[in-house]
Amino acid sequence: MGLTSASSGQTAGSGLAPPSVLVSIIGVMVSLTLTFIGLTAITFVISRVMPVDPVLAIVGDRASDEVYQQVYLQLGLDKPIYIQYLRYLGQLAEGDLGTSIMTAQPVIDDILRFFPATLELATVATLLGIFVGVPAGVFAAVHQGRWPDHIVRVVALLGYSAPIFWLGLVALLIFYANLGWVAGPGRLDVFYDGIVEPKSGILLLDAALADEWDIFHNALSHLILPASILGTFALAYIARMTRSFMLDQLSQEYILTARVKGIPERQVIWRHAFRNVLVQLITIIGLTYASLLEGSVLTETVFSWPGIGQYITHSLFNNDMNAVLGGTIVVGVCFVGINMLSDLLYRLVDPRVR
């Protein structure tokens, strides 16, 4: 008995993590590793089986057979595909995503230049979805079956089903071409281009840090329309899910008990029902944010937004498979990372999940 107690005290005082925590950490690391290997393997195989000749994309149609064969061997295309994949994994381990044919720059440098624009656009769109969609969903659930509920449901249905490219073109025609309320396509007027040093790549943040408020307002004017269009999808999805979660909680017995006790309705909704919905909402918001990061291609194309989606699209049209492969992997890693972060957040919010 004394030996057992002493051993327990030594374990508790040694500062070592409990076995369950270590197992959880190891499980997460193994899951991330397998996910990354699967993502890179699928993306790599797709890039190799596509009817695109990477050698011709580099040397051009007029190159001699000798030049073609030399580049073919340099790329290692004569090796089996699993050997090519292992070589690519080795390059990834060194942070090398290859060189872009389109820009003649390392792909990692291109991604660091284009990805902040997508991050800025998706972040603002997600915040719009949160600050409008969550209250709208709660409002609709509280007024279930009445006209506020019907309005929220119709707006959410339209926002979720309407084509993004169509909404973008209509919004440009109305608010930019006809009314002139916002700036047009692009991220910044040509007049302001190159004035602010891109420290973070997020233009609003860089302009504010540089105390260039004219550039800040111009960038914000360019951002409003594409962020609103992209945020329409986030708003619709978050509002629908919030309404569904709230309806489930408002039908529980503890809500009836709280109302019988005379607790004000506002506290019943926000302190009791909404707190139990928050864990589910964190997961939904994380998935929405990740979807906007990877699914903003149409929005970036319509508004000429220089983000990672437009970069991947242009690279695909130019048969630049290094850029397509690198951009796809980066977006996939961000998707997995955001899901892991949302999992950590709802563990922090809800002690019962720990």
pLDDT in tens, 164-192: 888 888 888 999 888 888 888 888 888 88
Tell me, yes or no, whether 330 lies in a domain: yes
| Last residue within a domain, chosen from 30, 64, 93 | 93
Task: Report the range out of 29-43, 64-78, 248-262, 340-354 with the highest average pLDDT.
Answer: 248-262
pLDDT value, residue 10: 43
Place of tokens 């051009």: 60
139-155: average pLDDT: 87
Number of folded domains that form the chain: 2
Report which DSSP code applies to 115: H
Tell me, yes or no, whether 329 lies in a domain: yes
Please state the length of the chain. Answer: 354
Domain that holds residue 170: 107-353
Tell me, yes or no, whether 281 lies in a domain: yes
What is the spatial distance between Cα 292 and Cα 115, in angstroms, rounded to a whole number?
13
Report which DSSP code applies to 106: B
Place of tokens 């962020």: 227
Instruction: Give residue-wise pLDDT tens across range 274-323.
Output: 888 888 888 888 888 888 887 677 888 888 888 888 888 888 887 788 88
| Last residue within a domain, chosen from 93, 126, 144 | 93
Report which DSSP code applies to 353: G
